Amino acid sequence: MATHSSPISFIPARDIPPLTNKVILVTGGTAGLGKQSILEFAKHDPGHLWLAARNVAKAQETVNEVVKSVPNVRISILELDLGSLASVQRAASQFLESSSRLDVLLNNAGIMAHPEGLTKDGYELQFGTNFLGHSLLIRLLLPIMQRTALQMGPGDVRIVSLTSGSHARAPPAGIVFDSLKTDASSLSAVERYGQSKLANILYAKELAYRIPDIRIASVNPGMVRTGLTDVMGKNNLAYRLILSVLSPIMGVSIEEGVKAQLWACTAKDVRSGEYYSRMEETGKGSPHTRDRKLAEDLWDWTHKELDAFLVSGQS
């Protein structure tokens, strides 16, 4: 796989092209990288920005901040709890009732190294939130994205999912399927987080293989000084100590860290199906990221679960 010998130079103010008429949906846009993405997109004349978040009050604060910076921007809030498939379905329905196109879906929201727990639907908390909720959102919005791609041309429509270098901390099997409908207490919080982030990479690769008319990528922004690592620290004493030392030294600012996902959402040289570490096509994900059989197994498991949910909702 090709690699870049040096990091790509990307300055959002200079390199994000005009987003005229484009509809962009960002999950988790109330803080950190998601909020910064919204703020940057707003500066480039988008047709309509959608901020999807669980906390509507915080979402409104972000909207107010964006509008103060860019008064004429069109921006809407979508209430979305990725830990509830019913909430994801409602959010998708609300979006589809209001929009005739979707050009960019940025799956930014996530939780990190949380204690043991289950989603509202009984899935391991991190896997259900970071991966399965987003997978349902993709599935429900894929038809409108494919219609948009027919109008705009192949590769112009994007799905970008955030992942993490911690995907390499997934269990030895990569994804322990038998654990996904339990609290996975036999795995550490970091292993549970790792398998959810590995799933993001594998699903993006498999989706790109099956849906060639949409450009799909997964992005690891690197160590960024955001509130996500604060949560990780609170739940893991060892990582609290590690992060307290490494974050100020190795972590980058949100303004720097956000460049990778903005690049993946807008740059012409993004390759569909790739896992990017920051903006470099490293090809250095863990061996599991290149396991096509694991990707196919994940695809089959995911759509079996989503089929069951969608059928139950219609009965």
Looking at the annotation, which residues are catalytic?
A: 193, 197
From the list 160, 244, 236, 250, the residue with the least C-alpha distance to 192 is 236
Span between the terminal Cα atoms of the chain, in Å: 47
CB of 279 within 8 A of CB of 251? no
Amino acid making up residue 181: K
- CB-hemisphere CA count at 13 Å for 145? 25
Contacts of 86 (CB under 8 A, 6+ apart): 120, 313
Distance between CA 102 and CA 164 in Å, rounded?
25
Amino acid making up residue 18: P
| Torsion angle (degrees, nearest 10) of CA 272, 91, 130, 248 | 90
Contacts of 26 (CB under 8 A, 6+ apart): 34, 37, 38, 41, 49, 50, 51, 52, 106, 108
